[in-house]
Amino acid sequence: MALHRTCDGVARRDFLKVGVLGASALTLSNYLRLSHAGEVKKEAKATSAIFINLGGGPSHMDTFDLKPNAPAEFRGEFNPIQTNVSGIEISEHLPKLAQQMDKFAILRGVTHTLAAHELGSQYVNTGNRPIPSIEFPGYGAVVTKELGGLEDLPQFVAVPNSPQKAG
């Protein structure tokens, strides 16, 4: 295996080791400091999750990722409102969600390089790039298989025509 070196002679692998160690030390030191101050709370583990994928739904720029400071030709027509989480704003048309922002997460970094929305949806819903000869199960099917579920409720439901596969 060839040893890759940067312009100043540092091996790429050594650079990555130092970067990972530095990042983990920074995270660990912050955690220990917050823990010592009593600011780290052990949260209850979630027993259920609802994954909503609105194919054909409203744009992220009109709901959860407004760009109020962007030029007019790029931003949406709606105004942002403050949520109950400092620094997070969502659309003025979602006031009840704004009051409950501390109860859910917004994923703004989900991307794919596939050229079609349907393939991208399949990728997002299964975590696997679409391969025509293989059908991957959706997240719900995998979690149900691994963790089980409540006996009095269905463990996993996929609405017809959903990219979530039963597995």
C-alpha distances out from residue 15 to 3, 18, 20, 28, Å: 12, 5, 9, 20
Label residues 54-85 b or e (16+ Cβ within 10 Å = b): eeeeeeebbbbebeeeeeeeeebebebeebee
> Quick one: 11 and 75 in the same domain?
no
Q: What angle do CA 115, 120, 121 make, to 5 degrees?
A: 150
Domain of 6 in residue numbering reads as 1-42
Number of domains present in the structure of the chain: 2
pTM of the full structure: 0.51
Tell me whether residue 86 is in a domain.
Answer: yes
| Alpha carbons 72 and 67: distance in angstroms, whole number | 9
pLDDT tens, position by position, for the chain (167 residues)? 455 444 555 565 555 555 555 544 445 566 566 666 666 566 667 666 676 666 777 888 899 988 889 998 888 889 999 999 999 999 999 999 999 999 888 887 777 788 787 788 778 777 778 787 777 777 777 777 887 777 777 777 766 665 565 55
Tell me whether residue 31 is in a domain.
Answer: yes
> Quick one: 36 and 1 in the same domain?
yes
Tell me whether residue 47 is in a domain.
Answer: no
